[in-house]
Amino acid sequence: MKIDWTRKLTSRKLWISIAGFVAGLIVIFGGNQADADKISGSILSGAAVVGYILGEGLTDASAAQNQNGGGEDED
């Protein structure tokens, strides 16, 4: 079974879960809510960048494949 890492890394649910988990850990280990909010916001901003980069890379790869024939048979 092959894992689709691109889909996993662009999942908003994944990044929100990670941000929430990290924010919870910050508060549990003595950090204040303001720090937890800043770090969660940074994680979500980074996730947006990762999603954009992966999305654009896939779009560019697909366009290049289509331009080069894409391996499809033409009748």
As for how many domains the chain has, the answer is 1
Count helices and strands in the chain by DSSP H and E runs? 3, 0
- 50 inside domain: yes
pLDDT tens for each residue of 30-58: 989 899 999 999 998 988 888 888 888 88
Full domain range(s) for residue 57 = 7-65
2 belongs to a structural domain: no
CB 72 within 8 A of CB 27: no
Q: Could you tell me what percent of the chain has a pLDDT over 90?
A: 17
